Amino acid sequence: MNDTITMSSVGLLELAHREYQAGDYENAERHCMQLWRQDQTNTGVLLLLSSIHFQCRRLDKSAQFSTLAIKQNPLLAEAYSNLGNVYKERGQLQEALENYRHAVRLKPDFIDGYINLAAALVAAGDMEQAVQAYITALQYNPDLYCVRSDLGNLLKALGRLDEAKACYLKAIETRPDFAVAWSNLGCVFNAQGEIWLAIHHFEKAVGLDPNFLDAYINLGNVLKEARIFDRVLQIPNFNTKCVASK
């Protein structure tokens, strides 16, 4: 009988996770609360409730369930990270940073913790430490192409264009159809005066994602700078796209 109850609880938590991933927060919360009423010490349920409330912008409740999870297990890195998310959303960056740093100290291979830490460091203006946080995340999983592209964006903002270029190239190597990295690489080439390479990469980006507004605008602008007006006119609805972006 106990095994049946346990399996039922595990199955319900898995269902709640699937609902959460699908954005069905109402049913995810309902199933979590059903589990929580059965066992208020289940940290998996507490963590998921914290995440659900965060996504629903109920920050106080999110913090409450993170705190309950920490009381049950003071070494639970994910709970500190969730609490950090609440503080960051409230603009309390110092508290957010403290929680993210504590999370990765508790769990040195906690990739999401490093990503959250990097975003908070950027918000706090500490770009160099943010670079290090992204690099650490990528050491644990080099295939995170979105994270590598974010690192490239940060390096580009710091003027470290060759390092940014290497990040975008690696992201494309990992995910060849990642249009954002193609467009970002085009921006680096444009900044370095490599107009034809910039055009090639912007064209590749819009070829991969015909709805990629920024890439269209980047392509149109670099073509105009190069005075290749006939190709600007070939961009579908270029003027409309430019107006829509304002």
3-state helix, strand, coil in the chain (%, to 5): 80, 0, 20
- Residue 226 scores a pLDDT above 80: no
Class for the domain spanning 177-245? mainly alpha
Instruction: Give the residue carrying structure tokens 């007006």.
Output: 229
Mean pLDDT, rounded, for 25-30: 94
Q: What per-residue confidence (pLDDT) applies to 95? A: 98
Place 2 in a pLDDT band, splitting at 50, 70 and 90. very low
Place 60 in a pLDDT band, splitting at 50, 70 and 90. very high
Q: Would you list the domain boundaries of the chain?
A: 10-95, 177-245
For residue range 153-199, list pLDDT tens digits in order. Answer: 999 999 999 999 999 999 999 999 999 999 999 999 999 999 999 99
d(CA 32, CA 42): 10
Residue 237 CB-half CA count within 13 A: 9
Q: What per-residue confidence (pLDDT) applies to 228? A: 64
- Residue 26 scores a pLDDT above 90: yes
Q: What per-residue confidence (pLDDT) applies to 196? A: 92
Chosen CATH of 10-95 out of 1.25.40.10, 1.10.357.10, 3.30.160.20, 3.20.20.80: 1.25.40.10
Query: In Å, how far are 23, 44, 45, 63 from 40, measured between CA atoms?
Result: 24, 10, 8, 16
Q: What per-residue confidence (pLDDT) applies to 222? A: 86
Q: What per-residue confidence (pLDDT) applies to 10? A: 80
Query: In Å, how far are 9, 64, 198 from 3, measured between CA atoms?
Result: 10, 30, 61
- Residue 7 scores a pLDDT above 60: no
Q: Which two tokens stand for residue 149?
A: 């592209």
Same fold, 10-95 and 177-245: yes
